[in-house]
Structure 1
């Protein structure tokens, strides 16, 4: 059986994020997924090392790499549209589930059992950390756009920070307090 799964996955780089906003640095889903994987891994490590968690950071990172894979088939729906109305949010979740199923069935049957839980993020604790990392990635994007003088991201930055604080996850608070200020610095200031 020939499979198109990985050819589709490689197309994540063609899906642009933040479509409704003027961007100083465009971002695609592949770049975003990598950053979310790095952040999710870090959040899992922080949870384990600082707060007694028992997450597998590798499994969390892999789930994050694929967390937006359905957007290969659906495209990236802007957050204000996706989350503003419960009916649209629920309908979009259904569309995402169909897309995840289509992607999964592109794989040979012997691989579907491995990729199924990854594509659907079936573990609630993993899903929670990936969601927090996804929001953290959005916040970093806002901070970096503001640093570049793009005030279009000011309101999004405030809303995203508030959402992160609302998660009440100690690993997120630790990340914000320990690492977040660095994203506002220039390269010379990081030295």
Structure 2
């Protein structure tokens, strides 16, 4: 079972890859380090709110808006717990509205890739409950207009299903 720390680490590493891919292959000028740090904190509100399953969180526009409001309040609550002279530094990475939109887009894409990889792992382990989610997320990723996402899926995604022996032979 994955916890928020593990998930955040995975999203940060995928965000790092996506940012580098965009900059190297698709003419981007992203601040990859800023993206990685923000990705580390992307679910920090869950310290207070807990994790809300995506099917519930996005069931309706009303539920989505309400939960986003709760998340924003939780971010502010966490920020207020920090020493005042550090709050400005953390605000730039913890408060979603303070993160540049182009960074948020990359982090969201990495979060979606992480969810897809998790579903794939569960399906490979025989847990068919994740099959529908894997298909839905794959369609969403394939429909993206972010070339770095397509590149990541084509180049790196297949290796996630390999055993260590298979990985080392490639």
TM-score (norm 2): 0.95
Q: Does 2:126 align with 1:149?
A: yes
Residue 43 of structure 2: aligned partner: 68
State the Cα deviation string for residues 6-31 of structure 1 (Å, max 9, x = none): xxxxxxxxxxxxxxxxxxxx111110
Q: CA deviation at 1:75?
A: 0.4
State the Cα RMSD in Å. Answer: 0.9
Q: Does 1:118 align with 2:93?
A: yes
Q: 2:150 aligns with which of 168, 173, 182?
A: 173
2:54 aligned residue (71, 79, 93):
79
Count of paired positions: 166
Q: For residue 42 of structure 2, give the secondary structure of its aligned residue in structure 1.
A: coil
Q: What residue is the counterpart of 1:44 in the other structure?
A: 19
Give distance in 1, aligned partners of 2:104 and 2:111.
10
| SS across alignment from 1:84 | coil
Deviation at 1:107, TM superposition (A): 1.1
- Quote the offset at 1:167 in angstroms: 2.2
* 3-state SS in 1 of match to 2:91: helix
Q: For 2:141 and 2:92, how far apart are their aligned partners in 1? A: 25
Match in the other structure for 1:139: 116
- After superposition, where does 1:100-115 map in structure 2 within 5 Å? 100-115=75-90
The whole-number CA distance in structure 1 between the counterparts of 2:144 and 2:39 is 18
Counterpart in the other structure of 1:53: 28
User: Runs of 4+ in structure 1 displaced over 3 angstroms?
Assistant: none
Q: Distance in 1 between matches of 2:66 and 2:131?
A: 29
TM value normalised by structure 1: 0.85
| Distance in structure 2 (CA, Å) of the matches to 1:76 and 1:55 | 29
Q: Distance in 1 between matches of 2:144 and 2:78?
A: 30
How far has the Cα of 1:70 moved from its partner?
0.1
Shift of 1:166: 2.2
